[in-house]
Amino acid sequence: MKLYSYYRSSASYRLRIALKLKGIAYDYHAVNLLQAEQRCDAYLAINPLGLVPTLILDDGARLTQSSAIIEYLEETHPEPALLPENPLARARVRSLVNAVACEIQPLCNSGVTEHLKKVMGVSDAGIGEWYERWMPRGFVAVEEMLETASTAFATGDAPGMADIFLVPQVYNARRFNLDMAPYPNITRVVDACNELPAFIEAAPEQQPDAPSS
């Protein structure tokens, strides 16, 4: 498989974790978002939304949208499972996934903040307020959903789809200095994940396109 990824894209990061947890090998193709490579014709032919990640299967099939791709991997490579078996438990995991994927990430990504800054003239302080408005909203809900659980990871005793979405979002929140003190359960779960090889190997700083520090 070929993975088109940017080291710091949280959607790419999610998919890298899923691939690592499933033990699926892939070739890494970097798409430099800072140099707008995602809007070049060559990449738009691969992914018409101009977004990372894209996963190209061995037969050439092209998959887009991280949640859709991870559900595909779960269906075609069921072990280890990233979703529980019970439909109600699956709904709970997917609700956590979507709290991140539909409520936080779409508003707190570089495409949106660049638009706010460059097109709408929003100041750096205004961008900070934007993050403060939209990041905590999703985290508050996720924290409440995690409070009732006493599991090592978000939804069980092994990492699953909810963890895959939470870890990159918390990485992003920390990068923007969001105070994580109000979210002890999220912090506990994410820190547990970050001890595991799959999460360590999928981390932004471990990718071939990460700048050497």
The footprint of its own copies (CB under 8 A) covers 48-49, 51, 57, 61, 63-65, 67-69, 71-72, 75-76, 87-88, 90-95, 97-99, 101-103, 105-107, 112, 115, 119-120, 122, 126, 129, 133, 137-138, 140-141, 144-145
Nearer to its own copies, 122 or 210 (CB): 122
**Alpha carbon distance 15, 67 (integer Å):** 8
Beta-bridged to residue 29, according to DSSP, are 4
CB neighbour list of residue 80: distance below 8 Å, 6 or more residues apart = 21, 22, 158
Q: Are strands 27-30 and 2-5 parallel, antiparallel or unpaired?
A: parallel
Closest approach of Cβ 130 to its own copies, in Å?
A: 8
Nearer to its own copies, 122 or 152 (CB): 122
Closest approach of Cβ 52 to its own copies, in Å?
A: 13
Closest approach of Cβ 91 to its own copies, in Å?
A: 4
Nearer to its own copies, 23 or 48 (CB): 48
**Alpha carbon distance 152, 146 (integer Å):** 11
Closest approach of Cβ 170 to its own copies, in Å?
A: 17
Nearer to its own copies, 23 or 111 (CB): 111
Closest approach of Cβ 147 to its own copies, in Å?
A: 10
10 close to 172: Cβ distance less than 8 angstroms: yes
Tokens of 27: 């070739």
Nearer to its own copies, 119 or 181 (CB): 119
Residue with tokens 């779409």: 106
Burial 25-55 (b: 16+ CB within 10 A, else e): eeeebbbebeeebbeeeebeebbeebbbbbb
